Chain A
Amino acid sequence: MEIFGYPAQAVLSQLVIGLVNGSFYAMLSLGLAIIFGLLNVINLSHGALYMLGAFATWMGLDYLGLSYWAMLILAPLIVGLIGVVIEKTMLRWLYKLDHLYGLLLMIGLASFLEGLLQSFYGASGVSYSAPDALNGAADLGFMVLPVYQAWVVAVSLVVCFATWYAIERTRLGSYLRAGTENPRLVEAFGINVPRLITLTYAFGVGLAGLAGVLAAPTVQVSPQMGSNLIVVVFAVVVIGGLSSIVGAIVTGLVLGVAEALVSLFYPQASATVVFVIMAIVLVLRPAGLFGKER
């Protein structure tokens, strides 16, 4: 059976791969969407923090002998802590100013972190392997799917759903949403808004750290791994609607699939297809597919 001239098997397998990549994009862009939606900060250092999560995972194993499973919990916490430091010492001063400064701060931070890690670990990076329990591949008939990739999808989807639920359906989430719309009023209710903001930022980057842990066995752990990804993830968030959590998740998945399918039909353009889509969406519906223009 053929679809557009390609064997159905090939198309189906690309769809599956697309969903895997997409769920990864979704999780990464989720953090960005939360930070922008709730804090109005364009967190361009997200890629560098994702890279830190991956490096932390490797360091945990190399220096302390900690397993992947331990780092799955620890690495996001470490990155979250770094986020707390960033927010308290640097970001805090920029809220009253134009978005632009927050953005520039993040660009600078990303550059600095990349340069710092490169001076210690070199450009080629370090190698990290998945734990044995997740090695191997399952034969699905029309393709072979590595167990690890299935694991990544599972974790991403669970985390995405849990985050969405926490923000949209719990009380803590409602405080967060109220706190950014009208901090004065929320503070008047006795809720510590600055702390809430710090925690939100830490959570957002913690998600990036978690993505880093998930990525470490599959992608080269190098100082540049984040900057290759950040532009794409950004595009995902913009297409989905800068502050929309649902938008980030859905768009991440859709774009992952789009990229995979394009790699079958015209692979050279698979990195650019995201931008073409972004341009089209922005011209027709600038607030993004699920967003509201601010």
Chain B
Amino acid sequence: MRFGAFCCAAITVLSAGWSIQASAQISGDAVKIGFLTDISGTYADNDGQGGVEAIKMAIADFGGTVNGKKIELLYADHLNKVDVANNKAHEWFDQDGLDMMIGGANSSVGLALAKLSAEKKKPFMAVTAATARLTNEDCTPYTVAYAYDTISVSRGTGGAIVDQGGKTWFFITADYAFGTSLQDETAKVVQAKGGKVLGSVRHPVGASPNFSSLVLQAQASKAQILGLATSGGDLINAVKTANQFGVNKTMHLAAILTHITEINSLGLNLTQGMYLTDSWYWDQDDESRAWSKRFFAIVHRMPTAMQAADYSATLTYLKAVKALDSDDGDKVMAYMKTHPIDDLFTKHGTIRPDGRMVHDMYLRQVKTPAESKYPWDYYKTIRTIPGDQAFNTKAESQCKLWK
């Protein structure tokens, strides 16, 4: 053991010198895009392998090359573990010369990747991680929060529903920072517009049979709107339980954050009439329909807003690289923040100094089975919520870069 210790010390000294020289290489022969998401866990349907396909479509639609250099996609499943995401991301940045990172699908991973990308001075497009911290306390010059965040879905849903007449609310909230922030943001908006929050109840995450107790309490409150500040399997269970107790007949359900895959898994019978907010829907215009048909042929499901955002984010980046003829992180970020986005995902998106990509959000309502004419025909659009109303303002921002 003593011999080993000596070896350790000697090599440490030598390696310290050695490692200063072995710095990261910046690839000059290809533009490399990395994608880390949850491919096999609970969020797999919202982004997952479909997201991979969406990015591949973007690369193919762009032509496969940018100014003569090939575009390569590296992707991996982060298993919702920061360790795995961190290792993979480091490897890609340091050994493969990664130029841009997309992903998240999990707030803790999203935050960790944002930090790492900032260290490496490469752009990071956060698509599925909903935490607003990415453009507030934890903002960096290299992060772009591309799709939704907890603030925009809350303000969208809360504000628009109160305007429709839903003034009294009861919340069932996931006992997580995410759930709390959804509830708080929605409550703020509801109260600002003259509505009232009659009560709320928090559920432990993953609590399957427990929703009966919570739904009963919601029913007893006699509020008009049942705000579901939760997501994934818990949201699905809450909706199912609400239906069982007939709550969906006496209260309107509002799923503050949901994806079309969840509506699909629940079915229209259980979700009809439910309100939700999102940034994109496959059936919203001709361009979206055409793209979604192509997506469906590969993935056999209609795309979620997240997958469309993956596509759009990739294109936005590639357009910047092409125009600048460079993949230098600082230049690309500056370019993207000064050029609006007009594509499949949004017709007038802009990236603010705090990294927030601002675009319109839409209040939707789930159709009744009778109103639905073809597979995946789930939503009718009630209102458009302009971006500057949905996302947080400069005055509210906690980002040090945007003061």
Assess A/B contact in the complex (Cβ within 8 A): yes
Query: A40 in the interface, Cβ–Cβ < 8 Å?
Result: no
Query: B262 in the interface, Cβ–Cβ < 8 Å?
Result: yes
Query: A149 in the interface, Cβ–Cβ < 8 Å?
Result: yes
Query: A225 in the interface, Cβ–Cβ < 8 Å?
Result: yes
Q: B175 contacts which chain A residues (CB < 8 A)?
A: 267-268
Q: Report yes or no: B237 in contact with A21, Cβ–Cβ below 8 A.
A: no
Given known A219-B240, A267-B203, A272-B204, contact A144–B246 (CB-CB < 8 A): yes
Binds B, one of A124-132, A180-188, A239-247: A124-132
Q: A259 contacts which chain B residues (CB < 8 A)?
A: 210, 213
Q: Taking chain A's interface residues, is the majority helix, strand, or loop, or is none over half, making it mixed?
A: helix
A148 CA / B204 CA spacing, docked (Å):
24
Query: B269 in the interface, Cβ–Cβ < 8 Å?
Result: yes
Q: Report yes or no: B210 in contact with A271, Cβ–Cβ below 8 A.
A: yes
Query: B45 in the interface, Cβ–Cβ < 8 Å?
Result: yes
Query: B12 in the interface, Cβ–Cβ < 8 Å?
Result: no
Instruction: Please tell me which one of the listed residues A13, A123, A136 contacts residue B41 in the complex, with CB atoms under 8 A apart.
Output: A123
Closest A residue to B266 using CB positions? A127
Q: Report yes or no: A218 in contact with B244, Cβ–Cβ below 8 A.
A: yes
Q: Report yes or no: A263 in contact with B214, Cβ–Cβ below 8 A.
A: yes
Q: Report yes or no: B265 in contact with A125, Cβ–Cβ below 8 A.
A: yes
A186 CA / B232 CA spacing, docked (Å):
51
Given known A10-B220, A13-B216, A271-B207, contact A220–B240 (CB-CB < 8 A): yes
Q: Shortest CB–CB separation between residue B228 and chain A, in angstroms? A: 14
Q: Report yes or no: B213 in contact with A14, Cβ–Cβ below 8 A.
A: yes
Instruction: Please tell me which one of the listed residues B202, B220, B264 contacts residue A9 in the complex, with CB atoms under 8 A apart.
Output: B220
Q: Report yes or no: B40 in contact with A118, Cβ–Cβ below 8 A.
A: yes
A154 CA / B212 CA spacing, docked (Å):
17
- The interface bits of chain B over 200-220 (1 if a CB of A lies within 8 angstroms of the residue's CB, else 0) are 011110111110111011011
Given known A10-B220, A270-B203, contact A219–B208 (CB-CB < 8 A): yes
Closest B residue to A21 using CB positions? B209
Given known A123-B43, A264-B217, contact A218–B240 (CB-CB < 8 A): yes
Q: Report yes or no: A267 in contact with B206, Cβ–Cβ below 8 A.
A: no
Query: B62 in the interface, Cβ–Cβ < 8 Å?
Result: no
Tally of contact residues, B, Cβ under 8 A: 40
A272 CA / B264 CA spacing, docked (Å):
32
Q: Shortest CB–CB separation between residue A153 and chain B, in angstroms? A: 12
Query: B296 in the interface, Cβ–Cβ < 8 Å?
Result: no
- Near B by CB (< 8 A), chain A positions 106-162 give 115, 118-119, 122-127, 129, 136-137, 143-144, 146, 148-149
Query: A228 in the interface, Cβ–Cβ < 8 Å?
Result: yes
Closest B residue to A227 using CB positions? B206
A115 CA / B264 CA spacing, docked (Å):
21
Instruction: Please tell me which one of the listed residues B204, B220, B241 contacts residue A270 in the complex, with CB atoms under 8 A apart.
Output: B204
- Near B by CB (< 8 A), chain A positions 267-284 give 267-272
Query: B44 in the interface, Cβ–Cβ < 8 Å?
Result: yes
Q: A25 contacts which chain B residues (CB < 8 A)?
A: 209
Q: A264 contacts which chain B residues (CB < 8 A)?
A: 213, 217
A256 CA / B60 CA spacing, docked (Å):
54
Given known A127-B265, A219-B240, contact A10–B202 (CB-CB < 8 A): no
Q: A137 contacts which chain B residues (CB < 8 A)?
A: 244-246
A223 CA / B195 CA spacing, docked (Å):
39
Query: B233 in the interface, Cβ–Cβ < 8 Å?
Result: yes
Q: Report yes or no: B208 in contact with A268, Cβ–Cβ below 8 A.
A: no
Given known A267-B201, A267-B202, contact A126–B212 (CB-CB < 8 A): no
Closest A residue to B269 using CB positions? A129
Given known A220-B233, A263-B210, A268-B202, contact A146–B245 (CB-CB < 8 A): yes
- Near B by CB (< 8 A), chain A positions 1-46 give 7, 9-10, 13-14, 17-18, 20-21, 24-25
A111 CA / B41 CA spacing, docked (Å):
12
Q: B203 contacts which chain A residues (CB < 8 A)?
A: 263, 267-268, 270
Q: Report yes or no: A124 in contact with B265, Cβ–Cβ below 8 A.
A: yes
Q: What are 25 sample pairs from A and B whose C-beta atoms fall under 8 A apart? A: A10-B217, A14-B216, A17-B216, A20-B212, A25-B209, A118-B40, A123-B41, A124-B233, A124-B261, A127-B270, A129-B270, A136-B246, A146-B246, A219-B208, A219-B237, A220-B236, A220-B266, A225-B233, A228-B206, A263-B203, A267-B175, A267-B201, A268-B202, A271-B204, A271-B210
A residues apposed to B, CB below 8 Å: 7, 9-10, 13-14, 17-18, 20-21, 24-25, 115, 118-119, 122-127, 129, 136-137, 143-144, 146, 148-149, 218-220, 222, 224-225, 228-229, 259-260, 263-264, 267-272
B residues apposed to A, CB below 8 Å: 40-45, 175, 201-204, 206-210, 212-214, 216-217, 219-220, 232-233, 236-237, 240-241, 244-246, 261-262, 264-267, 269-270
